[in-house]
Amino acid sequence: MATDDLTLVKRVRSGDQRAFKLLVERYQRKVYAVALGMLKDKEEAMDVSQEAFVKVYKYLDHFKGDSSFYTWLYRITVNICIDVIRKRGGGGEHVEFDETQDMDLSEARIGALGSRLGTNPQKSALRRELAEKIQEALATVPEKHRAILLLREIEGMSYEDLARTLDIPKGTVMSRLFHARAKVQKILSEYLELDEAKSGVGNE
Amino acid sequence: MAGNPACERFVPMLSPYVDGELTPAERINVERHLGACRDCTGRTADLRAESGLLRVGLDMAVDDVDFKDFAQKVMARVTPEKPPLIERMKLALSEMFLYQRTAMISSLATAAVLVLVALPLLMSDRAPVGYAAERMTVKSIQPYQNANARVAPVVMETDNGGTIIWLVDEESGDTSSSGKDDEELEEEIGGGMSPDGDGLKRPARPGTDAPRPSGGPL
């Protein structure tokens, strides 16, 4: 059975370097996925992922252990990503959602994604082009909403953990997640519609 | 949000419903609504599809990345590896020879000359033979035979072949030197000296008018 995070953290604190390597190996893929979803750029995502782990190591003494190690790790990752995005400047990244706007999907699109992809899409059924489109769709979502959506989908974090990780109320988590999903869904539906019209056949 | 006015209330609950974040009571209400609303059932399917799509899509993107060296790179940044001392010295030397060859060669030549000159000097710089010399041993004592001599020379031979002569100025009839009149002369001359036959210390009783012997030929 794998050693739990907090035990590994304790070992790292007592000077066990190998324990830290285990933590890195445990979370590297997910941290990278979050960074990639946030930044879209592969190299930047890789740099940020490494930076996140280096920072975690450096500030390990500040980790109190009253929350999960991974919520702390993701908070650091998301904060670095947001810093990178802000340093880039421009690009409409600061545009906040108009959260008063409701999930106004046109009637024609209701059920579009579900009917085309099924409720549990498999890698084999997913074309690379669509996988790339996902990152484009994510990039249209404001970074704070994006972070919530990514942490929910990649790590499967509970709303409670999301609230703790991002230091926001649970209600805000729910609201941001709802709007982020609506936005991404809209873009992906449009893409699939366009794709279907282009090929002239169904994409089942 | 077409026909059903209840959708307005339920649509925002669909996202937490899909995530399993509703209270049991809310969940029952949503499921009751879904049973009656086709649109919201479609929306729920869309949310599930999107969720799966994001997960799988990002997973595919991550699959493209080779994480073989990732952890090692992180570890190298948190614990910069220090090569062993010998390796570092080798590296430093090879770099010096590579970039400052002339300076290095002339420095080494100077160092070699210094060693060649300084070493014999250092080697010869041993403790002086004399009173304080650790290895000075008295090998022979030769009393000065002249009965009129005022001094009683004591000749000592040292380990390294040197000879030390004490010229002890003695008052007539007084064998133990004392007082302000005592005078000690020391001279070291090269070469060995054969010890005299009996080797007994027989202090002379020098006459007061006797010439002070120097450390001349013995």
pLDDT digits (tens, 9 = 90+) for B88-102: 777 777 767 667 778
Per-residue pLDDT of chain A (204 residues; tens, 9 = 90+): 688 999 999 999 888 889 999 999 999 999 999 999 999 899 999 999 999 999 999 999 888 877 889 999 999 999 999 999 998 875 544 445 555 454 554 555 777 777 777 666 666 666 777 778 888 889 889 988 999 999 999 999 999 999 999 999 999 999 999 999 999 988 888 887 776 676 654 444
Q: Does B69 lie at the interface with A, CB-CB under 8 angstroms?
A: no
Instruction: Give percent of chain B above pLDDT 70.
Output: 54
Does residue B144 contact residue B204 with C-beta atoms inside 8 Å?
A: yes
Give the residue extent of every domain in chain A: 5-88, 107-199
- Is B82 near chain A, with CB under 8 Å? no
**Mutate which of A8, A53, A100, A179 to disrupt the B interface (most B C-beta within 10 Å)?**
A53
Q: Which residue of A has its CA nearest to B2?
A: A107
Residue A105 near chain B (CB below 8 Å): yes
Give CA–CA dist B187/B184, Å, rounded.
10
User: From the candidates A113, A132, A183, A187, which should be mutated to test the interface with B, based on the most B CB atoms within 10 A?
Assistant: A113
Q: Is pLDDT at B199 greater than 70 in this prediction?
A: no
Backbone phi, psi, residue B167, to 5°:
-110, 105
List the alpha helices (DSSP H) in chain A: 5-13, 17-39, 42-58, 69-88, 112-117, 128-139, 143-150, 159-166, 170-199
**Among the listed ranges B36-40, B67-71, B207-211, which one has the minimum average pLDDT value?**
B207-211
Tell me what ipTM this predicted complex has: 0.83
Q: How confident is the model at residue A36, as a pLDDT?
A: 93
Asked if B60 and A150 come within 8 Å (Cβ–Cβ), the reply is no
Whether residues B12 and A113 touch (CB distance < 8 A) is answered with no
pLDDT of the residue at B138: 61
End-to-end CA distance of chain B: 134
Q: What is the DSSP string of B52-113?
A: HHHHHHHHHHHHTS--TTHHHHHHHHHS-----HHHHHHHHHHHHHHH-HHHHHHHHHHHHH
| Contact A54/B at CB under 8 A | yes
The pTM assigned to this predicted structure is: 0.62
For the domain spanning A5-88, the CATH number is 1.10.1740.10
**B61 interaction partners in chain A (CB closer than 8 Å):** 33, 36, 131, 135
Tell which of A34, A97, A178, A183 to mutate to test the B interface (max B CBs under 10 Å).
A178
Two structure tokens written together for A15: 């000077």
Judge contact between A149 and A184, C-beta under 8 A: yes
Classify domain A107-199 by CATH number. Answer: 1.10.10.10
Buried b (16+ CB within 10 A) or exposed e, A63-94: beeeebbbbbbbbbbbebbbebbeeeeeeeee
- How close, in Å, is residue B36 to chain A by CA atoms? 16
A21 close contact with B: CB closer than 8 A: yes
